[in-house]
Amino acid sequence: MKQQLPTRRLFLALCPAALLAQGRGVQIEGKEVARNDDVVFRQIDEHTWVGSGHLMANESLYLVEGENRSVLIDAGTKIADLDKIVASITKKPVMLVATHAHPDHTGSAINYFPELYLNPGDARSQFVAHYTGKLRELKDGERIDLGGRTLQVLFTPGHTPGSTTFLDPAAGYGFSGDSFGSGNLLLSGSFSTLIATCEKTSAVMEKLGIKFLYPGHYMGRNPETKQRIDDEATLSKDILSGKVKGEPNPRGMMGLNLIVTAYGVRINYSEKGIQ
């Protein structure tokens, strides 16, 4: 039985870039290498590709290839024959990992991949409860050896308890899903958690020489930078200190009834986030 996907209304609530991205065209440079009705894959570099889904504010999938195997980071919302599309790009065995459990990042996993690697903080999410394959737990700080290329796992909670970022130090970039919002963060956790995540990530980016992070809803001009992450930490501290106050957001979903914009950063949150 195929997973019953939530309604579009719930998808819009879960997608941190939805309000900013509806109606905007994708402007991603790079050769198109595969396409069907649900997704377009374009080349980032010789062994890295980005897939742009169509259902949820251009949900993004990333295919990262090494000499021995490949990693697919996220699976999109509902992409027919995703395994076949990926196999047309890389002939290496593919390991599926998720930046978090929300359905615009794991929706296609159930039909096409026998294993899904996930942060244990999201392993009990309702959105992977119907996954019929094996859920495998990632570990903070572990390294995924692809053969001549290594991804480093960094737990980055805040958007969800199990949000995760994957870093490629040799390439100088990483993949952060919705951890930092793609320009419009939905904070289901607390500002204290977000501050810790931002400070941790900023320090690791500086140490490893990570120049930017490809986000979960990549439009071509909205990579996550160290500066944006530092600004999210600053804004979070301002909220906790009372220096900055959010405005009511009566249309906010998931109980995120407050919104704040400063330093070029937008965060949606609730009163329970002020901890």
Mean pLDDT for back-to-back runs of 10 residues, the chain (275 residues): 40 44 66 95 97 86 98 95 97 98 93 95 94 96 98 98 98 98 94 98 98 96 96 97 94 89 94 89
Burial track 137-174 (b if 16+ CB lie within 10 A, e otherwise): ebeeeeebebeebebbbbbbbbbbbbbbbbbbbebebb
Residue 71 lies in a domain: yes
Tokens for 247?
């405005």
Q: Between 191-208 and 226-241, two packed helices, what is the crossing angle to 10 degrees?
A: 150
Q: Would you say residue 1 lies in a domain? A: no
Judge whether 35 and 58 are in contact, CB under 8 Å.
no
Number of independent structural domains in the chain = 1
In a domain, 2, yes or no: no
Placement of tokens 């919002």 in the chain: 181
Within a domain: 146: yes
Per-residue pLDDT of 77-113, as tens digits, reads 999 999 999 999 999 999 999 999 999 999 999 889 9
* pTM, to two decimals: 0.91
pLDDT tens per residue, range 198-237: 999 999 999 999 999 999 999 998 999 999 999 999 999 9
Domain that holds residue 102: 8-273
Kindly state whether residue 132 falls inside one of the protein's structural domains: yes
